Amino acid sequence: MTHADIAANMSRMGVQRGCSVTSVRRFCEQNNLSRWGHSNSDLEMAVTRAINQTGPTYGRRMMTGYLSANGVRAGECRVGRVLRTVQQPYSEARRRGARNLNPVPYEAEYTGHKLHLDQNEKLVMFGVTHVLAVDGFSKKIVGHATMPVKNNLTIYEQVYRSAVLDNGMWDQVRVDHGKEFYLTLFMQEMLSGHRHNQERRPYLQTPSTSNHTVERMWPEINNRVNYPLKEVLVQMVDQEILDMNDDVVKYCVSNLTCQTSQIGVSRAVQAWNGHRIAGRGVPNRLAEGGCRAKIDEVFLPNASVAADMYHQEVGSTLTRLSMFGSDPITSAEDRASVEQHFTEQWPDISVLFDEAVNYNGTPFKNALMFLINTTKRFA
């Protein structure tokens, strides 16, 4: 019901004063009444909580998507006003740092036409690699994984296989020339008969700079996840707190940073898939229904079986487990003790990420040093 509707109803009820549209609007504003499902104060609290979890780089569109993914639905304009109010320095920093990207011609006809995979190695020196899978039509991120070192089996299992089981078969997979996608491309070719359009090549390898659709996701991940954590880690190396030549230190740094950054990536993916892309729409809605060609799980073996098939067919052996540094703990009992001691100190590591993206790296730094010292004690 609009302010005019309320004013008209009041007039019909015989109210003599205060029933103009202006009076009704002023009364609603003074008493924090609105037509929306969330009052201004409730929305401000929700946005404040979200900022604590996502940091300063989420603008109105990404923040609207993140709120929507967490059950809070509000218009972009309202969210934008709240962002400018509750964290003015963050809003001003985003405004000054706005970038304009030149448009790149691209065509994908429907969800399931092209699947783009790429890796991000901004934290590779600390044992962290991200891999994303993006549908070319809807721009929805349909799969992602974080690992210490890029690994064929992990990428196939956690990114490609997961995306296909959830959505169906893509006509074409697009990657760069990296060796880490060999198993994924092998399985895509083996299953090419299950695709919707079998006239297209099952996969295409192009230079990384030509894989535009997924490449444009990385600035989002870098600003919202990688750079805040990298700043803390580089500072610790510069201050000689971390010795990255020590295999135990490398293992611990990779272990905790992978877990922490995975939290940020998951949040960024939620926000991206729920935000509105100008001129297109919301990725989640555009991708509803998934790919046109569905496939049964029986045709998608797990990573270990797929690697055996690759070896039999191609003759090459893929690395089963990739590790950054070395784990000095050999017994399951000691490993459980380390995990228990760490959990007692930091039961929720999402707090470490929350603080890091809001310019407070001390909790992450303290947690990392505790993990290193505890691991060495039980080694």
One domain for residues 74 and 138: no
Number of independent structural domains in the chain: 2
CA atoms within 13 A on the CB side of 9: 7
pLDDT per position as a tens digit, 177-231: 999 999 999 999 999 999 999 999 999 998 876 667 788 889 989 999 999 999 9
One domain for residues 142 and 287: yes
One domain for residues 57 and 120: no
What pLDDT is attached to residue 100? 43
121-137 mean pLDDT: 97
Residue 99 has pLDDT above 60, yes or no: no
Residue 54: domain span: 3-96
Domain final residue, candidates 290, 314, 338: 314
CATH code at 174? 3.30.420.10
Domain final residue, candidates 96, 124, 157: 96
pTM score = 0.78
**Taking Cα atoms as reference points, which of 275, 285, 260 lies closest to residue 67?**
275
pLDDT per position as a tens digit, 229-270: 999 999 999 999 999 999 999 999 999 999 999 999 999 999
In a domain, 224, yes or no: yes
One domain for residues 182 and 307: yes
One domain for residues 161 and 297: yes
One domain for residues 70 and 200: no
Single-letter amino acid, residue 370: F
Domain final residue, candidates 284, 314, 344: 314
Single-letter amino acid, residue 201: R
One domain for residues 87 and 153: no
CA distances from 156 to 150, 241, 305, 308 (A): 11, 36, 11, 13
In a domain, 182, yes or no: yes
Chain position carrying tokens 């603080």: 355
In a domain, 42, yes or no: yes
